[in-house]
Structure 1
Amino acid sequence: MAAPSFSESLRARTWASHGDSEGAGFMRDLMTGEGTREDYVALAAQHYFVYDALEHDIDRVANDPIAREFLTDRLTRMPPLTADLEFLIGPDWRSQVRPLPATVRYTERIRELATGWPGGFVAHHYTRYLGDLSGGRAIHRRMRKLFGFDLDGVRFYVFDQIPDPAAFKAGYRERLDAAAWSEDERERVIDEVLSAYRFNIEVFEDLQAAKTPAAV
């Protein structure tokens, strides 16, 4: 039997953390209808800070011969996300959103990697964007049903430049397999993907805590 490819090993070794992230209490409530429109808006606001970190300084990563293979404007989320926030909150939305403590830690890590370790940046790029192309479609459908959105409010989840997400994800995994990383570097990348899932869970925990009234 052939040894698993790097992308197969990456997926297998991070699958439990992926499931923990999807099953976090905040997201579970939102997807089952126990969450509110305000909860969804709060999530979108935290996404703004995360994707600003991923996309604002992306030129720094583009100089790396391996990392640049994963970068494409077809994945860019900031324009649809800012359009969503203007629709959800209003034209002054920038003055009304603040990063939660977990989001601050998360974005600081992404920016650190963008300037110091391209392989680690790819780990976060993989975790976010392939997740958006997978579970994001389910979130898109569910939020439309729960809150009556048409396109405005859920543009973030629409990748209109990627008509075949499955084919795109397959190509992304092929690039992971072709990346000229040593075995030690691949282990580091897997560890950073696990860290990315932990950051996501911590953001969900902060979102949950923010909507829970403090005990008297």
Structure 2
Amino acid sequence: MTTDQVAEPFSRGLRMAIEDGHARAQGSVFVEALVEGRLNLAGYTALASQHYFIYTALEAAGEAMAEHPVAGRFVVDGLRRVPALADDLAELIGPDWRDRVEQRPSTAAYVARLTEVAAVSPTAFVAHHYTRYLGDIAGGQVVRAQLRSQHGFTDAGARFYDFSAIAPVPTFRKRYRELLDTAPWSAAERAEVIAEAGTAFDHNVAVLTDLAADLPTFRAA
């Protein structure tokens, strides 16, 4: 191993390791349709519904990890998405939304993985936490602007992408990278984070692929 490799911040190494997964997610036909305004409201609602199940499992894992000396540092109240998603789905579907949303098979597999590993393994939790929250913070403002212009959402309906509780976002992202870089992980534990982050992206892409199968019914008029 070279001196440069030893000195490389873990946050940079992690980002580079998951570039392929990130590209697959961002390049999915469903995400492209979303950011380009080619989804109708039913399409966005389908995505928000799956996010609700995923984030419910992830934030339950966060509760389990809150007291862990390393993983607990990543549990930030201002990041919680479940309350925002509940508000969004009530707006999008109606007050009986809990009785009407269903997990897709790909989402059920994602939730099962979160339940299996993220609630018990600190490295797996951080891997899933990183891929979900940092990804949605990064791309969320583009989607939020699209929802505002296409569907008129300025509050409920698009709260999932409102990260004002952790503003300013650049400062938060810098602090998050510092947490990754200073976590007292061994080389093996860092490898575990990278491997599980890849698995997280595989699940995310599977959900997007599942949703893309219904694009003919989700196309905006």
Question: What TM-score results when the alignment is normalised by the length of structure 2?
Answer: 0.92
State whether structure 2 residue 42 is matched by structure 1 residue 38.
yes
Take 1:48 and 1:115, find their aligned partners in 2: how far apart are those partners?
17
Q: Give the aligned partner of residue 207 of structure 1.
A: 211
How many residue pairs match? The answer is 213
Letter in 2 for 1:64: H
Take 2:119 and 2:43, find their aligned partners in 1: how far apart are those partners?
33
Q: Give the aligned partner of residue 93 of structure 1.
A: 97
RMSD across aligned C-alpha pairs, in angstroms?
1.4
Q: Give the aligned partner of residue 138 of structure 2.
A: 134
Letter in 2 for 1:43: L
Letter in 2 for 1:101: P
Q: For residues 115-150 of structure 1, what are the alpha-carbon distances to aligned partners after superposition, in whole Å with 9 as ceiling and x for unaligned?
A: 321110110001111112111111111111111212
SS state at 2:213 partner: helix
Q: Give the aligned partner of residue 165 of structure 1.
A: 169
Letter in 2 for 1:149: F
Take 2:64 and 2:21, find their aligned partners in 1: how far apart are those partners?
29
Q: Give the aligned partner of residue 81 of structure 1.
A: 85
State whether structure 2 residue 17 is matched by structure 1 residue 9.
no
Q: Give the aligned partner of residue 66 of structure 1.
A: 70
SS state at 2:201 partner: helix
| Cα 1:142–1:116 shift into 2, 3 Å | same
Letter in 1 for 2:25: S
Give ranges in structure 1 of 5+ residues lacking alignment: none
Q: For residues 70-104 of structure 1, what are the alpha-carbon distances to aligned partners after superposition, in whole Å with 9 as ceiling and x for unaligned?
A: 11101011111100000000000011100001100
Q: Give the aligned partner of residue 49 of structure 1.
A: 53
Structure 1 residue runs of 4 or more that deviate by more than 2 Å after TM superposition:
56-59, 210-213
Q: Give the aligned partner of residue 156 of structure 2.
A: 152
Letter in 2 for 1:128: R
* % identity of equivalent residues: 43
What is the CA distance between 1:32 and its match in structure 2?
1.4
